[in-house]
Structure 1
């Protein structure tokens, strides 16, 4: 929640008048519980969506996630009717199984650094090619996993995507 990528994504969404909720998964920071290899964390995303739905009834959701948060968030957002569009940054493609997101026809934006040392760019490209349309992948040339020095560019990419929805 406190990393710069998550902060900058929330910042640009709020600037676009889209409410943003940042939260820690179970067992992270001061959150209770413990890591559950994505299963329980999917519940965390659902609880966050419940909160947003009650706080902003009828407002469509753009679900954005970074790294492990992208892995969990994209899986939940692909099937949750409240979610209108998906954004994944630094997506750990190796974590997805073969059919994940295959039925998802929601707009998807994937932003990935070409020098991502955590989630290799080439694996993400191969995973992205299997996703159903509509989809967009933007490579941030030379960026690492945390988009060091490139977060303004990431914000511009997100703003352009959101304005097309």
Structure 2
């Protein structure tokens, strides 16, 4: 039987946030996915986000992806920083209220990597236990002391080696600077949007979700 995502709206700091929820029977947890830069056309329907959503579904997880403020049918206007993290925090609160017993996994692509990591840091500071954090071609240049990383949950960073948007060397240097344990996976001959490499991305994420 084909399982489809259900459209819904979640109350956010600036009004309603448009989202798509997929509920899986006997789910292993729920995966929240953060999309790329809205100013450059990023939405929850981005093909990398869609690949992450299907991968999580195939691993037995429920999924929730959403549009930040000012994207699609979400209220408000772009903030390009703290505002989008606040949106993600509102989505996480909705998940906790509606799926309180499910393990929580966070994923983010590009700008969404910054959002997911920042959200993870905030949730840990509030006492939340996260199952995993995946950062894909992440905009690490946006992370600073105002947006601290989580320190306890397992972290996987996936970086294309020929990324034309996020400088791979900057991601590698950032990875080297981290004192906390994490996994850095490099994808050879791959650009930022994983053209022709979406299967490679799924092959990296799926076993790490399935363990």
TM-score (normalised: structure 1): 0.92
RMSD: 1.6
Closer/same/farther in 2, CA of residues 23 and 54 from structure 1, 3 Å limit: same
Counterpart for residue 58 of structure 1: 101
- Separation of aligned partners in 1, 2:178 and 2:131: 16
Q: Secondary structure at the match of 2:62?
A: coil
Conservation of the 8 A alpha-carbon contact between 2:114 and 2:138: yes
Q: CA deviation at 1:95?
A: 1.5
The answer on whether the counterparts of 1:26 and 1:33 sit within 8 Å (CA) in structure 2 is: yes
Does residue 1:22 correspond to 2:69, yes or no?
A: no
Instruction: Measure the CA separation in 1 of the matches of 2:57 and 2:200.
Output: 16
- The equivalent of 2:184 in structure 1 is 137
Superposition pairs of residues 14-163 of structure 1, within 5 angstroms: 14-80=57-123, 81-97=128-144, 100-101=147-148, 104-163=151-210
**Alpha-carbon distance in 2 for matches of 1:160, 1:69:** 22
> Which 4+ runs in 1 deviate beyond 6 A?
none
Q: Secondary structure at the residue paired with 1:20?
A: strand
Distance change in 2, residues 1:116/1:49 (3 Å): same
- Deviations, residues 31-82 of structure 1 (Å, cap 9, x unaligned): 1111112111111111111222223221111100111111011111123114
Gaps of 5+ in 2: 1-43
| Structure 1 partner of 2:54 | 11
Report deviation, 1:85: 1.2
TM-aligned CA deviation for residue 99 of structure 1: 7.7
Q: C-alpha distance in 2, partners of 1:9/1:101?
A: 24
* Contact 2:129/2:153 (<8 A) preserved: no
Tell me by how many angstroms 1:136 deviates: 0.5
**Which is richer in strand?**
2
Whose helix proportion is higher, 1 or 2?
1
Question: How far apart, CA to CA, are the structure 2 residues paired with 1:14 and 1:55?
Answer: 18
Return the offset for 1:129: 1.5
Higher Rg: 2
Verify the 8 A CA contact 2:118 2:149 in the aligned structure 1: no
